Structure 1
Amino acid sequence: MSIRVLLAVNHPIVLWGLEKFINESPQIQVAGKATNGAEALLLVREQQPHILLLDPSLGRESGVDLIPGLLAEGNFHVIIFTEIRDRTAVDTAVLNGARGVVYKEEPAETILKAIEKVHKGELWLDRSTTGRIFISLLRPGKNTACLITEKITTLTPKERAIVNAFAEESGASNKKIARTLCISEQTLRNHLTSIFSKLDITNRFDLFMFAKLHRQEIGPPMSRLSQSIPSTSSL
C-alpha cells in the first residue's frame, strides 16, 4: 500500500514541485496539499495521511506550534520541511512531536528517504539534533525526579503496560499496539487520553521518549504485565 503524504507548505510553486516529484515514486503518493494551518487540519481529518510534510513557516502561522493539535487528529508522523537552520525551532518541533527534519537545500531524494524511514517508525534527525533532544530531556531540574515519580505512581497497571508497549514497539500504530495488548483501538485511545493527562504530555512521540527514559521507574515490561490486561469487554 502506498505511503500517503500530506503537504503543508506556504508556497504554491514549491507545493507543485513537491507533488510532482513525490508522485513519481511508486511507493508514495500525495494525499492532499495545504497552504495554511486551517487547511492542513481539515485535510488531516479527511485524508488520514501516514506522513505530514510540514513547513514551519505557514505565512503568519507557526507550523511548529500547530504540531500537537494536528497530531491529535490522527495516527500519522510529522516531518519538518524547512530552509532555516534554527536549532531552537528544530528542537521545539521535535519536542512537539515531529519525527524528522529535512532541509530544503538537501537533495530531493532525501525527502523520499525521510518519508520511508519515518513511516517505518524511525527518526530522521541528524546526530547533533538527536543529542540535544536527549540532553534536554535528561537534564535534571529542581525536584524533577520527584515530579516524575509522582506522575508514574498515578498510572494504573494497565496504563503502565500500555506505556511499556510504546517503548517496545517504536513507531507501531494504535491498531498494532491494541492487537498486541488484546484490547480494542477505542479502549487504547481512552487509556492514552488518561495517560497523556497523568504524564502531562501531548502526543505519541512524547510518550515514546518518556517510556524509554523511565523504564525502570515504570516497572516490568509488557510481557510480565500481560495477565493484568483483561479482555476488551471488561475494560
Structure 2
Amino acid sequence: MTVRVVVADDQELVRAGFSMILDAQPDIEVVAEAGDGAEAVAAVREHRPDVLLLDIRMPTMDGIEAAGIVSAETDCRVLMLTTFDLDDYVYDALRAGASGFLLKDVRRDDLVHAVRVVAAGDSLLAPSVTRKLIAEFTSRTVARPVAPPSDRLAVLTVREQETLQMIARGLSNAEIAVEMVLSEHTVKTHVSNVLTKLGLRDRVQAVIAAYETGLTVPGEQL
C-alpha cells in the first residue's frame, strides 16, 4: 500500500527537500506541494492524501488553522513541522488534530519513519517535545483548582481509565502491560476502547483528554 502525502511549507527549498526524500521511498508518493495553509487545505481536499506534512508557521493561513480544517473534514493524518522544539503553537496544533510533531532538522530516516507511523494510525512526537507538551498543558491549568474527573470518563471501565492515565504518562503498550500485569494484546484492546469511547483520534489527544478531564493532574509523576 502506497502512502499518499501532501507537503506544505512556505520555504520552497525545505518543501522540495522533504518531497524528494519522501518520493524516493517505494511505499510513499508525494501527490502535491503547498506554500501556505490555504493551499494545503485545497490540496488535501483535491487529492485526499493519507498524510499532510504541515509547517506550523505559514502565511495566509497558519498550520494550526489548516490542521483544524483538515482534521474536521477528512481522515487525513497531520504531521506538524517547526524549527523549535518549544514552539508556542505546539499545544494548539495538537489540539487542532495533529497526530505528530517533528523538528525541521529531523534526520532523513526519522522523517520517513514518522510519515509511515502516522499513516498507520499511530501518533508521534519528537522525544524532546513530549514532556514539554505536558508541561505546557500543566502550566495552563496549574492556576485553576483541580476538578474531579469529568463525567465524560463515565463511559470508560476502571481498567480503561487506568490505561488512559498511563497513556498520559507517555507509556508504550508494552510498558503499560508490565505495569498492569496484562498481555500486550489486552492493553491494545483497552487503548482502542479508550480512543473509540472518547472519540479521540490517537494517543496524543488521549494525553490531552486525561488532563482536561482531571483524570491526570499537574504535579503527578509522568
Interval containing the TM-score (normalised by the shorter chain): 0.5 to 0.7
Match for residue 192 of structure 2 among 157, 161, 169? 169
Match runs of 1:131-142 below 5 Å: 131-135=131-135, 142=144
Contact 1:167-1:212 at 8 Å conserved across structures = no
TM-score normalised over the length of structure 2: 0.64
Spell out, residue by residue over 1:141-165, the C-alpha distance to the aligned partner (whole angstroms, 9 max, x if none): 645535x535556x7xxxxxxxx99
SS at 1:69 equivalent: helix
| Counterpart residue identity of residue 130, structure 1 | T
Amino acid of the structure 1 residue aligned with 2:192: E
Q: Which amino acid aligns with 2:191?
A: E
Tell me what 2:206 maps to.
208
Change (3 A) 1:150 1:90: same
Tell me the residue number matched to 1:44: 44
The 3-state SS of whatever aligns with 1:64 is helix
Q: Is the 8 A contact 1:166 1:211 kept in 2?
A: no
CA 1:83 to 1:133, structure 2 compared with 1: closer, same or farther past 3 Å? Answer: closer
Work out which of the two has the higher radius of gyration on C-alpha atoms and give 1 or 2: 1
In the alignment, structure 1 residue 118 sits paired with structure 2 residue 141: no
Counterpart of 1:24 in structure 2: which amino acid? Answer: A
Q: Kindly state the Cα deviation for residue 36 of structure 1 after the two structures are TM-superposed.
A: 1.8
Q: Secondary structure of 1:93's match?
A: helix
Displacement of 1:24: 0.9
Contact residue 166 and residue 208 of structure 1 kept, 8 A:
no
Report what 1:232 is aligned to: none
TM-superposed CA distance for 1:27, in Å, is: 1.0
Deviation at 1:115, TM superposition (A): 0.7
Tell whether the 8 Å contact from 2:100 to 2:118 is kept in structure 1 after alignment.
Answer: yes
Give 5+ residue unaligned stretches, structure 1. Answer: 156-163, 178-191, 197-202, 218-235
TM-score (ref. length: structure 1): 0.61
Q: Which amino acid aligns with 2:206?
A: F
Q: In structure 1, how many angstroms separate the alpha carbons of the residues matched to 2:126 and 2:18?
A: 22
C-alpha distance in 2, partners of 1:207/1:80? 14
CA distance in 1, matches of 2:152, 2:47: 35
Name the structure where helix makes up a greater proportion of residues: 1
* Structure 1 residues 127 and 103: alpha-carbon distance in aligned structure 2, compared to 1, 3 A threshold: closer
* Paired positions, count: 183
The residue type equivalent to 1:104 in the other structure is: K
Could you tell me which residue of structure 2 aligns to residue 97 of structure 1?
97
Conservation of the 8 A alpha-carbon contact between 1:79 and 1:100: yes
Partner SS state of residue 58, structure 1: coil
Structure 1 counterpart of 2:33, one-letter code: K
Q: CA deviation at 1:88?
A: 2.1
In structure 2, stretches of 5+ residues that fail to align are 156-163, 165-187, 216-222
Q: CA deviation at 1:37?
A: 2.0
User: Shift of the alpha carbon at 1:128?
Assistant: 4.0
When residues 213 and 169 of structure 1 are mapped into structure 2, their CA distance, relative to the original with a 3 A threshold, is: farther
Deviations 1:117-159 (A, max 9, x none): 222233322334222333555656645535x535556x7xxxx
Q: Where has structure 1 moved over 6 Å in runs of 4 or more?
A: 164-167
Letter matched to residue 112 of structure 1: V
